Structure 1
């Protein structure tokens, strides 16, 4: 492997590698029905998926206060666990990107805020358990993104310095975590994003419109 190529590429999961919005939306609709609440439109729900389960509950249970929404969190996650990977699909270009990264030589891994007990079976269903060098969930450490702890832990476990690592994610928290960790931050613009969220303000080192731009624009080089 060339000394100029980053030895490690880390990815967010939902909204970056995997389009899981349909399964999450189905889980939320089931929960809403169980509580005699009207369904939430998919177009309204999808943009907040990368903000996490609490943001999805806030978007869907608009009349509930924070304490009431918090009490619904275990039920929502249980509904989602029952539907895990029924309709989730890789974003276009992701499979090719991972193959290209492997051909170039770097290792790649996943650092997500999704709980590990949900992320791990997804990774197995995708056949990535032997390909991904590391998988860290939002509950793997006391703090999660936007704090840099998960990213720094991944680097320590794989003995790669953060300065020679690239992190790709579709949410501002991903960029904040990567910047705080001292690694190259890349914003994925094909993911989930509210209309009022301007990626130009994230302060990412680069923004990409499609997965293969990571390689085509040389964003793995120079590290």
Structure 2
């Protein structure tokens, strides 16, 4: 079904990192399977690990070992997983197809863009240049502010650093907490169906838009610049 777009054009787009801009799951999964190898266990199938990637250690260790924060042994696994991941975080991580073109299109349209992730800065800071995202207008990590997503504070800090009002920003993410944070920050929210998405179906997140590809987002942004364009 098509409809006439009436959404005002944003001045900035803020993105989640893992599962939104970058496919980092292969290296995250490799680190947790090193933990299993240390214990003489077979690797956890990648198909089981990938959907948990946006949840970080909680998701990966939960899928690989059936442990949750507070369980005996969880913290030791988390610390070692962090070490393994930091030692080899970009061997197989890449930007999703269409992301470079999306970011170029945002810049060409005169909009700013930035990154707001729950990934700790010890990983975000070295990873960003390795995967070609060093031109972000702001980079907010999970420990940059006093709260992580789904709290709105990291998104509000991103908008502040860009010098743009939150209501003139869109937030794009592949997890329910991304949409919750974006709504709480007063931003229009976009759920990216190309990401990891977790256990809850993206259609249930309450995002303003649910899109299948980065190209869909670029076309949506172009439509906001040209009001009256028909969009699917």
> What TM-score do you get using the length of structure 2 for normalisation?
0.88
For residue 94 of structure 2, the aligned residue among 84, 89, 92 is 89
Of the three residues 205, 209, 213, the one matched with 1:206 is: 209
Match in the other structure for 1:158: 162
| Superimposed CA distance per residue, residues 127-170 of structure 1 (whole angstroms, 9 cap, x where no aligned partner) | 332x1001011111121001101001111222211100011000
Residue 5 of structure 1, CA deviation: 3.0
1:221 corresponding residue in structure 2: 224
Q: How many angstroms apart in 1 are the aligned matches of 2:16 and 2:131?
A: 15
- In the aligned structure 1, how far is the partner of 2:73 from the partner of 2:222? 44
CA distance in 2, matches of 1:63, 1:163: 39
Distance in 1 of aligned mates of 2:71 and 2:39? 16
* Contact map agreement 1:111 1:151 (CA 8 A) in 2: yes
- In 1, are the aligned partners of 2:61 and 2:67 still within 8 Å (CA)? no
Q: Which runs of 5+ in 2 are unaligned?
A: 1-7, 226-232
Question: Does the 8 Å contact 1:186/1:207 carry over to 2?
Answer: yes
Mapped contact 1:166–1:220 kept (Cα < 8 A)? no
Q: Aligned partners of 2:172, 2:183: CA distance in 1, in Å?
A: 11
SS state at 2:184 partner? helix
1:63-89 residue CA offsets vs partner (Å, 9 max, x unmatched): 687242122111101101111110011
Q: Which of 137, 140, 143 does residue 141 from structure 2 map onto?
A: 137
| Partner-residue secondary structure (3-state), 1:221 | helix
Deviation string 1:79-115 (CA, Å, 9 cap, x unpaired) is 0111111001111110110011111111101000111
Matched, 1:105 2:113: no
TM-score, normalised to structure 1, is 0.92
Give the equivalent residue in structure 2 for 1:7: 11
Segments of structure 1 that go 5 or more residues without pairing to the other structure are none
Q: Distance in 2 between matches of 1:219 and 1:111?
A: 23
**Shift in CA distance, 7/44, structure 1 to aligned 2, threshold 3 Å:** same
CA contact (8 A) 2:176 2:197 kept: no
The aligned residue for residue 197 of structure 1 is 200
Aligned length: 217
